[in-house]
Every structure is written in structure tokens, then in C-alpha cells.
Amino acid sequence: MTQALLCLNAIVWLLFGIISLLRLSARYSEQSFVLVIIAIMMFGNVIAMLLTAWLLGKQKKLFYILALIVLFVNIILTFTDQFGLFDFITLLIDLIILGLLLTKRNSFYNHSDTSYLS
């Protein structure tokens, strides 16, 4: 379920990034560079979410911690700019994922393999 929600969140961010790029026009010429950088960061977030979803399947403590970091960064960054519908949707998904991860933390910490990367 957590992996599916991370993928759903990645899709929302992908749509948000595409919409942001489509909104670029000549009237925003001095802001275009900044808007493109923001869209690229959104696409980076998509990659982070998909990578995290894939890595969580390996049941490793390190990947669990990575997922928490990605979620905390997303939750914090949600409040650093305008708060709209996409922000609300991703915040809601992030909080659900966070709750699921916290309830399943023992499965990552009590995994029989003590190696973090193997």
C-alpha cells in the first residue's frame, strides 16, 4: 500500500510539474528561468518518490529511513510557497504514507538481514 501511494504521489507531482511548464508564457519572461528550475525540482521529486517506492520493497532499514527523509522534506516544502489543491493532495498522501511507515517500522528494523545495502 505504501509503495502504491508513493507512486500515486509521484504521478501527482509529475502532473504538477507538467502543468507548471505549460503555464510558462511570454508574460513571465523574467521569471521563466525560475519556473523551469522549480519544474525540474518537481521532476526530481517524482524520481525520489519512485525510487523510494521501489527500494521499500527490499525491506531494509536504510531505505525506510530514506523514505522518511523524502516524506519529511516534502511535508516541510509543502508550506514554503503558495498552498493550493496539489499541495493539499500531496500533503494528505504524504501524511498517510508517513502513518503507514510508522506503523510498519518494526518490519524494517527487525529484518533478519543486518546488512543495510546487500
The pLDDT tens digits of the residues spanning 1-43 come to 888 899 999 998 899 888 888 877 655 666 777 778 888 888 9
User: What pLDDT is attached to residue 29?
Assistant: 64
pTM of this prediction? 0.76
Question: Is 80 inside a domain boundary?
Answer: yes
Residue 44 lies in a domain: yes
The answer to whether 6 touches 56, Cβ cutoff 8 Å, is yes
Higher pLDDT, 86 or 103: 103
Question: Structural domain of residue 98, as residue ranges?
Answer: 2-109
Would residue 115 count as lying in a domain?
no
Closest listed residue to residue 7, CA positions, set 44, 46, 59: 46
Q: Does residue 81 belong to any structural domain of this protein?
A: yes
Instruction: List pLDDT tens digits, range 56-65.
Output: 888 888 888 8
Residue 118 located in a structural domain: no
Number of domains in the chain: 1
More confident position, 1 or 106: 1
